[in-house]
Structure 1
């Protein structure tokens, strides 16, 4: 694959998405960042405090990191807005080299220690903005990338696809993303387009810092070795450019492990894999049934 120049990171007002966008900016990329936050106020931490971060602030951070950030207000629950987003990218750039599917509905009870039926039913909305939205964005991206003969589609997943993590809706969403990568690779094979689902470790984000304060006994040990979200951006860039990335297409990858294979570090640090503690990705099955 030629050096990627144009990227889209969905759900990048803050958190993992903002960090991934900054990481791609550090690689000199033009990065479209989407989100619904024009001014802080809507998103809140686990303690009810208002979270910082807007699409414009992330875009500015991408530019300061060495790339070019382009903010686009987009609600990924609205297919028409998503269609317009990809039309804008095609009209302005004529191509898309990397898509990172990060947008997800985060329910305010996500980390509460309650069974799913004692949480609001709205927690299931992560299967809309998080799973379905990733399919829709990938559908648009695949059409563009196949025409140009190259591209990289990445899904932000987690060990929650294997172990119990934050309840069944969250787990189903992550497992679904992994299956998207597996099955979409089958359709994309021999097109020059790579695809992967990445199990990120604990990340240093606005929400995780609050979670560590809210539930110190649960998060304290993880935060000590948590990954900077830019690390994931660097991994995605390496998967798109490194010859090894082609062989890994369609796989579910543990960020800390694949980073070592690709020669990527996190600000000079190697991060631990939680495979033994939290589980392993499913091995792909070569069978295909139409």
Structure 2
């Protein structure tokens, strides 16, 4: 495709979403950046959708900030209606938006944690389905495209308890099943397992207790690393051979020749955290 790609990255005020959006923008893409943060004073962490969009444009892409609450389906529908009106197509959708409850990493059994952890079932699990639902006609109209659900090893191992695990396992299976529906139209859907990322939240934890996190910090990935992988996947001639799969970011990066921003090749955590799921090829309509 000669024209710049049109991409949507949800939950891109900061963290992985911001890094993915910046990496896609650096390829010259037009990136719609969604999130709820309009001013840094409204969040304990830095970053706004406008700042992400501005940085995309400085890097040679076109950043378009969109204030979207992904728990509100009407706002999500309006986002894709705007893209339809302005471009008539979509090339890449990255479902990254997720609610991160403060108690997520609290130690202890699930019944000692607040029920608000299930908010991840709404913005995180359900929101990925809704965004793909409204994006699908635009992707199908191309006859090509890519949907990526950002996920983690928490989809197969115990990580932060069952609420987090269920959400990650769900978006993994969602990518597999959506791939079945998308395949006749040349659209791929995958789930991408990211490693430990140097997000604003993670860096703050590293700085607060450098001795505790010394080993983890050494192998952490930049927030732009997943975006570099997604950009490479979108160009990959074998993309449709990968559709429906759960991909380990570090492994697919090595295969596609993608390095992190510092030139390093982050390691796969498969030996420690386990294998991605293998889904049945059976299709029951």
How much does 1:3 deviate?
6.4
How many residues align? The count is 284
**2:61 alignment counterpart:** 67
Show the 5 A alignment for 1:10-25: 10-25=10-25
How much does 1:42 deviate?
3.6
Show the 5 A alignment for 1:37-56: 37-43=37-43, 50-56=44-50
The equivalent position to 1:222 in structure 2, one of 200, 216, 220, is 216
Q: Counterparts of 1:146 and 1:275 in 2: how far apart (Å)? A: 34
**1:83 alignment counterpart:** 77
Contact kept? 1:4, 1:240, Cα under 8 Å: no
**1:281 alignment counterpart:** 276
**2:203 alignment counterpart:** 209
Show the 5 A alignment for 1:92-171: 92-171=86-165
1:271 is the counterpart of 2:266: yes
1:245 is the counterpart of 2:242: no
Q: Counterparts of 1:166 and 1:2 in 2: how far apart (Å)? A: 43
SS in 2 for 1:196: strand
Q: Counterparts of 1:119 and 1:213 in 2: how far apart (Å)? A: 26
Give the structure-2-normalised TM-score: 0.96
Give the structure-1-normalised TM-score: 0.94
Mean Cα displacement is larger for which, 147-156 or 207-216?
207-216
* Unaligned 5+ runs, structure 2: none
Deviations 1:113-156 (A, max 9, x none): 12211111111100000000000001111121112211110010
SS in 2 for 1:289: coil
Contact kept? 2:4, 2:28, Cα under 8 Å: no
Q: CA RMSD in A?
A: 1.5
Q: Counterparts of 1:182 and 1:259 in 2: how far apart (Å)? A: 20
Contact kept? 2:4, 2:30, Cα under 8 Å: no
* Unaligned 5+ runs, structure 1: 44-49
How much does 1:4 deviate?
5.5
Contact kept? 2:228, 2:258, Cα under 8 Å: yes
